[in-house]
Amino acid sequence: MKPFHKHTGSAVPLMRSNIDTDQIIPKQFLKRIERTGYGEFLFYDWRYNSDGSLIQDFVLNDPRYSAASILLAGENFGCGSSREHAPWSLLDHGFCVVIAPRFADIFYNNSFKNGLLLVTLDSADVEWLANEAATEPGKPLTVDLEDCVVTDGQSFTRTFKVDEFRRHCLLDGLDDIGLTLQHEAAITAYEQGRFEAQRNAAV
């Protein structure tokens, strides 16, 4: 996984709540057996008409946001299915960060495992950023994972909370499986029933 330290880029506002993974990447694109190449299908049904033409007034189709790398969204972003194709498609499309008031659980895990940083801010702050992005497309925003800060370099600076372990993994680009295999002995011991007593005591 690519380490994440600090990212500066512009933001695009997509302030709907409950944006589910079926919207992020519709099911017809889940049949592929690769991890890459999903970016062109991101928000497919919102970006394209059924004849394949662009839906002009969808914000991601607005040329002023074509370089955006930070997505601003409403409550409960990423709810629905466990498809990891959702963070894959966001990353492949060029997003590095999503900022929302709340994320769904499985999507949250999936994103961190792929180096997509999710930042949780108060709704009012996300709204404020969305307004800024709407009035001044292309305005840069910096997301710093070392200090856990989002700032526009001017009036807006907010700190955010992120689980310390996840932060550490993302900063160092650590491979989860590698980390776990350091506990190989504990896994084997558990399997051999050394923990049988503990298991019985626990219930």
Distance CA 173, CA 95 (A): 17
Contact 79, 132 (CB under 8 A): no
Say how many residues touch other proteins, by CB under 8 A.
Answer: 54
Give all strands (DSSP E) within the chain, no chain letters: 6-14, 70-73, 97-100, 117-120, 140-144, 149-151, 157-159
Instruction: Find the part of the chain contacting other proteins (CB under 8 A) among 28-36, 62-70, 128-136, 150-158.
Output: 28-36
Choosing from 102, 120, 138, 158, the residue that interacts with other proteins (CB under 8 A) is 102
Distance CA 175, CA 189 (A): 23
The reply on whether position 22 binds other proteins by CB under 8 A is yes
Bridge partners of 184? none
Distance CA 133, CA 120 (A): 17
Choosing from 14, 76, 125, 143, the residue that interacts with other proteins (CB under 8 A) is 76
The reply on whether position 161 binds other proteins by CB under 8 A is no
Beta carbon nearer to other proteins, 63 or 193: 193
Of 68, 59, 156, 71, whose CA–CA distance to 119 is shortest? 71
Tokens 């519709």, located at residue:
26
Choosing from 5, 16, 37, 172, the residue that interacts with other proteins (CB under 8 A) is 16
The reply on whether position 51 binds other proteins by CB under 8 A is no
The reply on whether position 54 binds other proteins by CB under 8 A is no
The reply on whether position 176 binds other proteins by CB under 8 A is yes
Beta carbon nearer to other proteins, 28 or 56: 28
Three-state secondary-structure class, residue 141? strand
The reply on whether position 30 binds other proteins by CB under 8 A is yes
The reply on whether position 124 binds other proteins by CB under 8 A is no
Contact 120, 97 (CB under 8 A): no
Choosing from 75, 142, 148, 158, the residue that interacts with other proteins (CB under 8 A) is 75
Residue 37: how many CB atoms within 10 A of its CB? 12
Interacting residues with other proteins (CB under 8 A): 16-18, 20, 22-23, 26-28, 30-35, 45, 50, 74-76, 79-84, 102, 104-106, 109-110, 113-114, 123, 163-165, 176-177, 179-181, 183, 186-187, 190-191, 195, 198-200, 202-203
